[in-house]
Structure formats: C-alpha cells, structure tokens
C-alpha cells in the first residue's frame, strides 16, 4: 500500500465516521495509557465511535500527523474535525464541553467507566 492510499483511507475514516479515534491498540486492548484514557471517557459517555490502531504500519501515524497537524496519539475527530489528544479530551470531558461536542448528556463524574459502549463499532483497519 502506498502512502497516498494510506492517506486516502485516513481521510475517508475521518470524514466517514461521526466520531473517529486514532489510537495505539484497539478499544478492547489499548496499547498505551493515553489511548486507554480516551476510550474510557468515550465509553462512559455512551457515544458510538470508531477506532483505528496506528501501530501496524508506522506510515499510518506519519500520514495522520501530516493530515491533522497534530503530532501525538491518540487523536479524536468529531464530524471530520480534530478535537485533540488525551489532554484536550480530558479537559473537555471534565468541563462538559466533550459531551456538548458529542451531543450526549454529561455523565456523572463518579460513574465508573463502562467496559465497552453498547454501540461501539469494531476497530477499523488500513489495508
């Protein structure tokens, strides 16, 4: 697969999925703490989202960072727009802005993270 094909698939995922998370690992098996933290916030909110593991090919991360202008992973997109990485998503979660962005009610902060959101899509793959 060429870099251009990878970029095209990334753009399709960003534009084609209402809530798209690029992460290390999968929602069921995150491979970094920052990705796990964003997953837990999305799960607590009960929002449907798609996820893509950037680890299988280093070019995925390179092309994604070039597209988004954001160097770190995870990267959360909503309605085709970059929301940010773990720190920004965490701050937005705590202030209620993430719930507004996602169009869902703000959960009680003491609510335990769900194991998996009921409507979560299986992880996407490049290739």
**Which pLDDT score is estimated for 95?**
94
CATH fit for domain 3-102, picks 3.40.50.720, 1.10.3720.10, 1.10.3210.10, 3.40.30.10: 3.40.30.10
**Domain positions in the chain:** 3-102
Rounding to the nearest 10 degrees, give the CA dihedral for residues 42, 47, 52, 53: 30
Counting Cα atoms < 13 Å in the Cβ hemisphere of 97 gives: 9
Query: Which residues lie closer than 8 Å to 12 by C-beta, 6 or more apart?
Result: none
**Per-residue pLDDT band at 120 (split at 50, 70, 90):** low
**Which pLDDT score is estimated for 112?**
42
| Digit-coded pLDDT (tens) for 17-42 | 999 999 999 999 999 999 999 999 99
Kindly report the pTM of this predicted structure.
Answer: 0.84
């Amino acid at each position: 697969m060429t870099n251009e094909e990878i970029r095209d698939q990334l753009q399709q995922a960003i534009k084609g999925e209402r809530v798209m998370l690029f992460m290390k690992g999968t929602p069921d098996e995150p491979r970094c703490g920052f990705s796990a933290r964003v997953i837990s916030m999305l799960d607590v909110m009960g929002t449907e989202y798609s996820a893509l593991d950037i680890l299988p090919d280093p070019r995925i991360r390179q092309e994604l960072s070039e597209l988004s202008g954001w160097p770190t992973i995870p990267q959360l997109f909503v309605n085709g727009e970059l929301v940010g990485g773990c720190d920004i998503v965490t701050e937005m979660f705590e202030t209620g802005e993430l719930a507004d962005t996602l169009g869902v009610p703000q959960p009680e902060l003491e609510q335990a993270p769900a194991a998996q959101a009921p409507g979560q899509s299986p992880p996407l793959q490049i290739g």
